[in-house]
Amino acid sequence: MGMSNFALYAGLLFFLTGCGYRWQPDSFAVSHPSITVPFIKGDEDGLFTNEVVRALASSGVADVRFSGGEYRLEISILQEGKEIVGFRKDRQKVNGKTKKNMFACEARKIISVEATLFRGGEAVFGPYVLEADADFDYVDGDSYQDLMFVDPQGVSQAVLPFSLGQLEPYEAALDASMRLLYSRLAQKIVDVISSQYR
């Protein structure tokens, strides 16, 4: 009889852990605050606000509410900047000679924000100034050679189908990097709130 009980408990333990079940104390659910995130000042298209709401909701730090939350997270974009961080040699030949020019091909977008957590009209955490950056590659092709290559069989091929998104014009590459940048900033904001709350 003792062996069958052991097998039953072992099977139950295996089943519960195999399904991803985790024991959780009830006290955590009781102390869950609610946070309202108004539209972020300077967020023209709402992508940053969306990333902050997503990061807060998935972190489990608080319940995110449309309105009427116990806390209100006010965020404003303080500064945005761009800098060139990578260059490449110009491959274009003029009169059979390669030019000795350098072209920018990699940039970094930097954003700093201020985040304050309010309860009623009183600031309970912050203001915190946080910064994040994201690098991105782009092509500033001014010649046919920048957009083509010759494969091992000697056939000219367009570069763009093989670029995996790295050879985009500057504006398209910048737009593509913004989600990563907003995600990094949102995670930093959630980390600060989490460290202060616990």
Give me the CATH number covering residue 141: 3.30.160.150
Tell me which residue range forms the domain holding 177.
Answer: 2-197
What is the number of structural domains in the chain? 1
- CA neighbor of 182 nearest in space, from 39, 55, 58, 62: 55
CB neighbour list of residue 105: distance below 8 Å, 6 or more residues apart: 86, 87, 88, 137, 138, 139, 140
pLDDT tens track for 58-77 = 998 888 998 989 999 999 99
pLDDT tens track for 89-100 = 776 666 777 677
Count of Cβ atoms closer than 10 Å to residue 156 Cβ: 10
**Neighbour-count burial for 20-34, b at 16+ CB within 10 Å, e otherwise:** eeeeeeeeeeeeeee
- CA neighbor of 72 nearest in space, from 130, 124, 128: 124
Cis peptide bond N-terminal to 169, omega within 30 = no
pLDDT band at residue 15 under the 50/70/90 scheme: low
pLDDT at 197 over 60: yes
